Amino acid sequence: MKHTEVVMERLTLEDLPSQALNPWFTIRGYQAGDETAWSHIQTEADHYNTITPELFLHEFGTDPSEHKRRVLFAQAPNRELIGTSTAWWGSSPQDEWGRVHWVAVLPTWQRQGIGRALLVATCHRLRDLGHMKAFLTTSAVRVEALSLYRSLGFVPRSSSPNSDEQPHL
């Protein structure tokens, strides 16, 4: 089934909410071998895309230093990885537009603030990496995700073809 893509943007990363620490989980960066956990989280949480074992490398390449800098995970107290989000880029790592990419939380852990914490941490990471703005793409059927993104200052991108504020996709 074809879903309507929605591009949302945040025109500044200067006024981000603080990163709240939750005693029930932590946010950590990628570690070698986390591709398997990433695929598991995406498979369980995403019912609109086909997730394959090769998808991680297809989306993020083979440079482990970029994975460590940009791929984030939420970790439960038992060390299980329960959510993920990536602080990627638009057209290049130096692009002023950072991309919030592949946000997902295992269904049994959803609605506990983990997605929000991952999104906030991802935006902070984008800013720390030198991006000044952020964008993301999602589907119009992801109503809860759209609400989360709006609550953190993302707005649907103007469809004007002459806008200078268009992120690179």
- On whether residue 148 sits in a domain, the answer given is yes
The two three-digit tokens of residue 161, written as one number? 């073809």
pLDDT in tens, 103-161: 999 999 999 999 999 999 999 999 999 999 999 999 999 999 999 999 999 999 875 44
Q: List the CATH number of the domain containing 24.
A: 3.40.630.30
Q: Within 13 A of 29's CA, how many CA atoms are on the CB side?
A: 10
- On whether residue 167 sits in a domain, the answer given is no
Task: Report pTM.
Answer: 0.90
Cα–Cα distance between 14 and 37 in angstroms, integer? Answer: 31
The dihedrals phi and psi of 135, each to the nearest 5 degrees, come to -140, 165
- On whether residue 43 sits in a domain, the answer given is yes
**Residue 71 near residue 60, CB atoms below 8 Å:** yes
- Count the neighbouring beta carbons within 10 Å of the beta carbon of residue 13: 21
Number of domain units in the chain: 1
- On whether residue 163 sits in a domain, the answer given is no
- On whether residue 165 sits in a domain, the answer given is no
Q: Sorting pLDDT into bands at 50, 70 and 90, what band is 20?
A: confident
The pLDDT, as a whole number, for residue 15 is 92
Q: What is the mean pLDDT of the chain?
A: 91
- On whether residue 98 sits in a domain, the answer given is yes
Question: What is each CA distance from 107 to 40, 83, 119, in whole angstroms?
Answer: 11, 9, 17
- On whether residue 27 sits in a domain, the answer given is yes
Q: Which domain holds residue 127?
A: 5-156
The mean pLDDT of 16-34, rounded to a whole number, is 89
**Residue 36 near residue 52, CB atoms below 8 Å:** no
Residue that has been written with the tokens 């956990």 in this structure: 37
**Residue 72 near residue 85, CB atoms below 8 Å:** yes
- On whether residue 168 sits in a domain, the answer given is no
